[in-house]
Amino acid sequence: MTLPDRFDRIRSTPLRLTIILTLIFAVAALGCFTTAYGVVRANLNAAILSDLRQTVATFRQEGEPDELLERLTEAVRVTDPSYRILHYLPDSGPVISNAGDIAPISGTVTLAGDSLGPTDGALAESYLALSARVGAGQLIVGQSRRAIIEMSEIFAAVVLMGLLPAMLIAGLAGLWIARRAQDRIGAIQDALGAMTGGDSTARVRGIAAGNDDLSGIGQAVNAMATAQEALIVTLRQVSTDIAHDLRTPIQRVSVLLDRMARGADLPPAQKTLLLQAQDETTRIGRTFQALLQLAQVEGGAARDRLVPVDLVGVARDVVEFLDVDAETQGLSLTAALPASATVTGDRQLLSQVMVNLIQNAMLHGAEGQTVHLAIATCGPVVTLTVSDHGPGIPADERAKVLRRLYRLDRSRTTPGNGLGLAMVKAVCDLHRARLTLEDNAPGLSVRIAFPPVSADVGTTAQRPHLAQ
Amino acid sequence: MKILVIEDDTATGAYIAEGLREEGHSVDLIASGADGLVQGTIGTYDVMVVDRMLPGLDGMAVVKTLRATGNATPVLFLTAMGGVDDRIEGLHAGADDYLVKPFVFGELSARLAAIGRRPKIQDAPVTLSVADLEMNLLTRKVTRAGQPIDLLPREFALLECLMRRKGRVQTRTMLMETVWDIHYDPLTNVVDTHISRLRAKIDKPFATELIETVRGAGYRIAAP
C-alpha cells in the first residue's frame, strides 16, 4: 500500500466514524469504572473508620485507669497486628502496643506497614489509623487496608481483562466494517471515474443487491449512467445520420466537379479554379471522415477487438513511412526501439497515433531539429514517447489541445484539422493508456503509458479480415 | 468487365455507371437492396459495387446473403461511414474492398480493376518486367537496361506493387494499404515523396520515364 492510499483510508468517512465511536465508548466505559471504583472505595473506608471509632468508644467506657491498662494489655496480646494495630501511649508509663514504635499522629491517617515495628507478628502493607484521647493517654487504633487494596486490584483486572479486549474487538470490527464500506464507496468512485473517462458502459458492480444507503447511491449512479448511455447512443445515431445525409450531397458535388474536369476543354484559369474546388471537396470529405472515425473510437466499440500487438513493429513501419517526409523538411526523425514491446491494441489505431504525433512534431519543428520516437519497457508497462524541440505547448493549453477542433492561436494558419490530438486522446482512452504532455525544454514531449497486457486478451478476438 | 452497381443515390449511381461505361465496362445500375440482391443472384458479374446504406435491405445484408448462397463475386462497398469498425465489419461480411464517400472516380476505377475477376497472371512469377525494367522476385535484384539498381526494401515493395499490376492505376490509398499496411487517412502526401525517391532511382538516370502520375487517381507503371 502506498502512502497516499493510507491517507485516503484515514480520511475516509467510515473509518473516521469507527475511530470516533471507539474513543467515545472507551471514555464512557472508563468514566463508569472510575465512578464505581470511587464509590466502593469510599464505602470501604467509611466501614473501616466506623469499626475503629467503635473500638475507641469501647475502651473509653472503662472508667478505671488500671482496668483500662489491663484491658489494653490483654487486647494487644490477642490482637493480630497484620489485621489490627493497637498502640497506647499513656501520659506516664510504658507504651502498650502490638505494632512497635509509631510516631505520634493526630486524626485519621494512612500508615505504611514498613514505618512500624518491630513486632512479633507480620504487618500489613498499610493501615487506616485513628488517634484519640482515651483515659490518661493517646490511643492509636489502625486497621489493615487489605480489603481496599484487593478491591483496587480487582478493578484493575476488570479493566485489563474486560475493557481493553472489548475495545480491541470493537476497533477491529469497526475497521472491518469501515473497510467494507470503503470498498463499496471505492466501487462507486471507480465507476464514476470510468464514466468521466468516457466509458459510458461503466457501472457500479456488486452493490445492486442491498437496500442500505450505499447501495441506494450505487443504484442511483447506475440509473444515471444508463440514462446517459442511452443519450450518447441517440447522439451518436444522430451524428451518423447527419454524416450520411451530408456525405451524399458532398459526393454529388465531387461527382459534378469531376465530370466537369473530365469533360470539356476549359480555359486554364477555370481549370485551376476547378482543381481548387476539387481539393476543397476532398478536404471536407477528409474532415468528415476524421470526425466520424473519432466518434467511433470514442464510442469504444473497438475495445473488444484489441489484440496483442508488437508496438515496435508498428513504430518501425511508421518511421520508415514518414522519414522521407522528415528529410524533405530538413528534420531528422530518430527512433530508440527495444527488440519488442507487446501491448493490447489495434494495430491501425496505434499506427495512426504515431503518425499523428510525428506529423504534429514535424509540422511545428524547424529545419535542423530532431523528432524522436522512443519505446521503453519498464516491467510490464510499455511507454511510447514522441518528443520534439519545437515551440511546445504552454502548460495551461495542454489539456485543451486534446479537445476536438481546438487549435492554438499560432497554429491557425498551419495545415491540419484540429482533430489529430483529439484522435490520439481517444485512442489512448480506448487502450486505457495514460497520455501525458510534458515540456521537453524546449519543445513538447508526448508520453503514452500502456497498461500491462492481460493474459486473456487476444484468444477470443481475432481480426476478421486477417482470418479470412 | 461486367459490373453490377447497387446505389440508391441517382446522381452518384449515374456518375459511376457513366464513368465505368466510358472505360469500356458493361454496367447494370440498380437502386434498391432487394432488387440488387435478385439481380446479383441471377446475373453473372465480374465485380459488384454496393452502397452500404440502402433503403429496405441494406448493403451489408445484401452481401451477407450473397455470400451465404455461395456467390463469390468480388464486392466493393461504398459507404458514408468509414471508421475502422465499419471497414472491418464490411470486410467481415464478405466484401473484398471498401471505399468511403466522397470518392473520386479514379479511386473507384483503380480498386475495381484490382479486385475484379480477370484472367490470372501466372501464379508465382519469378521476374516482372516493364519495358527495359526488370525485377527478380527471388534474388530481389532490379535492373534497368541491364544496369543494376539498388533499392531499399520499401522501395522494392513499392515498385513490386506497381509492376505486378502494370498498366493499371494504383491509388495512393491502395499503395499505402499494400506497401505500408496503413488503412487510415494519414493526412500526408508522403506517398508522393516515396514515389519521387523511386523515380530518382529508376527513371531519372534513363531516357524514358516509366512511372506515370494519373491526376486525381494515383500512379501507374507502363511501357512508354
- What are the helix and strand counts (H, E) for chain A? 11, 12
**Same domain flag for B97 and B6:** yes
Say which range, A156-160, A420-424, B121-125, has the weakest mean pLDDT.
B121-125
* Residue A250: closest C-alpha in chain B: B102
What is the rounded distance in angstroms from the CA atom of residue A105 to the CA atom of residue A127? 13
* CB-CB under 8 Å, B184 with A293: yes
pLDDT at residue A4, rounded to an integer: 46
* Domain annotation covers residue A378: yes
Domain termination residue (choose one: A250, A278, A299): A299
How do B2-6 and B26-30 pair as beta strands?
parallel
* CB-CB under 8 Å, B182 with A258: no
pLDDT at residue A449, rounded to an integer: 94
Domain termination residue (choose one: B80, B115, B150): B115
Mean predicted confidence (pLDDT) in A113-137: 82
What is the rounded distance in angstroms from the CA atom of residue A209 to the CA atom of residue B131? 77
Q: Which of A261, A289, A355 sits opposite B82 (nearest CB)?
A: A289
pLDDT at residue A462, rounded to an integer: 40
Mean predicted confidence (pLDDT) in A311-315: 93
**A350 has a chain B CB within 8 A of its CB:** no
Q: Kindly list the distances between the CA atom of residue A12 and the CA atoms of A18, A24, A152, B27, B182, in Å, as whole numbers in the listed order.
A: 10, 19, 40, 72, 50
pLDDT at residue A411, rounded to an integer: 62
| Residue A461 pLDDT level (bands cut at 50, 70, 90) | very low
Is residue B202 within 8 Å of residue B194, measured between CB atoms? no
Residue A345, classed as helix, strand or coil, is: strand
| Residue A413 pLDDT level (bands cut at 50, 70, 90) | low
* Domain annotation covers residue A15: no
Mean per-residue pLDDT of chain A: 82
Helix axes B190-202, B172-180, angle to 10 degrees: 80
Per the structure block, which three cell numbers stand in for B165? 499490376
Minimal CA separation from B82 to chain A, in Å: 7
- On the 0-12 / 13-18 / 19+ scale of CB atoms within 10 A, B52 is buried
Selected residue with higher pLDDT from B206 and A10: B206
Mean per-residue pLDDT of chain B: 85
pLDDT at residue A9, rounded to an integer: 56
pLDDT at residue B58, rounded to an integer: 85
A220-257: buried (b, 16+ CB within 10 Å) or exposed (e) per residue? ebbeebeeebeeeeeebeeebeebbeebbebbbbbbeb
Mean predicted confidence (pLDDT) in B199-210: 90
* CB-CB under 8 Å, A322 with B101: no
Instruction: Please report the number of interchain residue pairs, chain A to chain B, with beta-carbon separation below 8 angstroms.
Output: 129
Domain count, chain B: 2
pLDDT at residue A215, rounded to an integer: 83
**Same domain flag for A377 and A257:** no
Domain termination residue (choose one: A245, A279, A299): A299
**Same domain flag for A308 and A448:** yes
* Domain annotation covers residue B188: yes
CB atoms within 10 A of CB A318: 24
Task: Please report residues of A whose CB lies closer than 8 A to that of B85.
Answer: 296, 301-302, 305
**Same domain flag for A312 and A248:** no
pLDDT tens for A269-298 read 888 888 888 888 888 888 777 877 887 787
Mean predicted confidence (pLDDT) in B167-181: 87
Mean predicted confidence (pLDDT) in B202-210: 89
CATH number at residue B133: 1.10.10.10
* CB-CB under 8 Å, A289 with B100: yes
pLDDT at residue A198, rounded to an integer: 64
* Domain annotation covers residue B121: no
**Same domain flag for B161 and B109:** no
Is residue A319 within 8 Å of residue A372, measured between CB atoms? no
pLDDT for A351 beyond 60: yes
**Same domain flag for B19 and B73:** yes
Top-ranked range on mean pLDDT: pick from A33-37, A268-272, A438-442: A33-37
**Same domain flag for B69 and B146:** no
Q: Which of A244, A262, A293 sits opposite B84 (nearest CB)?
A: A293
| Residue B69 pLDDT level (bands cut at 50, 70, 90) | confident
* CB-CB under 8 Å, A247 with B101: yes
**A234 has a chain B CB within 8 A of its CB:** no
User: Does ipTM exceed 0.95?
Assistant: no
Domain termination residue (choose one: B89, B115, B141): B115
| E strand intervals along A113-240 | 126-134, 137-144
Q: Which domain holds residue B191?
A: 127-221
pLDDT at residue A415, rounded to an integer: 62
**Same domain flag for B105 and B196:** no
What residue spans of A343-419 are helical by DSSP H? 347-364
* CB-CB under 8 Å, B11 with A352: no
**Same domain flag for A307 and A432:** yes
Mean predicted confidence (pLDDT) in B83-103: 76
Say which range, A182-186, B67-71, B122-126, B205-209, has the weakest mean pLDDT.
B122-126
pLDDT for B82 beyond 80: no
Q: Which of A259, A293, A359 sits opposite B83 (nearest CB)?
A: A293
Q: What percent of chain A has pLDDT over 70?
A: 88
* CB-CB under 8 Å, A285 with B182: no
**Same domain flag for B99 and B197:** no
**B82 has a chain A CB within 8 A of its CB:** yes
**B102 has a chain A CB within 8 A of its CB:** yes
pLDDT for A380 beyond 90: no
pLDDT at residue A42, rounded to an integer: 92
pLDDT at residue B198, rounded to an integer: 93
Say which range, A223-232, A449-458, B49-58, has the weakest mean pLDDT.
A449-458
For chain A, how many residues are written? 468
Domain termination residue (choose one: B72, B87, B115): B115
Q: Which domain holds residue A277?
A: 213-299
Chain A window 25-84: which residues touch B at a Cβ cutoff of 8 Å? none
Pick from B21, B88, B22, B33: which is nearest to B66 by CA?
Answer: B33
Q: What percent of chain A has pLDDT over 90?
A: 18
* CB-CB under 8 Å, A252 with B85: no
